[in-house]
Chains A and B, each alone.
Chain A
Amino acid sequence: MEITTKQESSVLVIALKGRMDAVTAPFFDKAFAGWVSSGSKDMLINLGSLDYISSAGLRSILSAAKQLKIAGGSLHLAALKDAVKEVVTLSGFYTILQISETEEEALQKLR
């Protein structure tokens, strides 16, 4: 899994590429801890290049969302591909996370 980030005003935009599974999800957790310690509170994860996610990846995203909410921030997801969208939907994440069709749409909600 590749992780790249960019700053859009106060929002940290994270792009995940490849596979988020039991082996790679810990890399996200580690990176997330770094973003939090450098002061990021509102984050948007663009999943447009993520091909696969398992429960390990879902756990990392859920844990990140909880931490940001407690800190007064928020976590948004955008651009989910079909296989990822299916797993995210079946896990009931649409009722607890902000999920948008595109990165642009998510950024508008965050502004």
Chain B
Amino acid sequence: VKFLAAVTLAADMQNLKTFVATAADAASSLNLSPNEVSRVELVTEEVITNIIRYAYPDAKGNAALCCLLDDTGRFVIEVSDSGIAFNMTSVPEPDLASDLIYRCIGRLGLHLIRKFTDDIKYRRQDNTNILTLTMSKVAAL
């Protein structure tokens, strides 16, 4: 496993750009295609936005992002927060079959995360949510 980049900042919408740029820079350093970098940006945005919106309903807190390259050459995004326990992997898929008027607006982010990753692992440890997302089909190495 190779370390690429890490950043810890307040879970605030004004820091979203820095989180996403940190992951994008790490992905770009591996010579990924622009489309693959976009996928990394999207997965990072979706998980960080989730923390910003829901992890700290009554207080302020941080979000931590760490980008790694695993032994098989896949890009790994690890995100942690010390907010309320939330296991993203237990959320059901959205209904993508209904027509426009009834189409549900929620859970699209989670759906996209699942499409762009090979593996999502969640653990709760020392009052911290730790989410490890392994991107699929990274063309590095």
Residues 58-83 of chain B: 1 if any A CB is under 8 Å from the residue's CB, otherwise 0? 00000000000000000000000000
Pick the contact of B99 from A59, A86, A96 — CB < 8 Å?
A96
**A21 & B100 in contact (Cβ 8 Å cutoff):** no
Residues 23-38 of chain A: 1 if any B CB is under 8 Å from the residue's CB, otherwise 0? 1000000000000000
What are the 3 A-B residue pairs with the smallest beta carbon separation, nearest first?
A55-B109, A92-B96, A83-B38
27 pairs from A and B in contact (CB 8 Å cutoff): A21-B20, A22-B45, A22-B52, A51-B38, A52-B38, A54-B41, A54-B42, A54-B46, A54-B49, A54-B109, A54-B112, A56-B49, A56-B109, A58-B108, A66-B100, A66-B101, A66-B103, A69-B100, A83-B38, A86-B35, A87-B112, A90-B115, A91-B111, A91-B112, A92-B96, A92-B103, A96-B99
Given contacts A23-B13, A86-B35, 9 further A-B pairs with CB under 8 A are A54-B41, A54-B45, A55-B46, A62-B103, A69-B101, A82-B35, A90-B111, A96-B99, A97-B100
- Residues on B facing A (Cβ under 8 Å): 13, 16-17, 20, 34-35, 38-39, 41-42, 45-46, 49, 52, 96-97, 99-101, 103, 105, 108-109, 111-112, 115
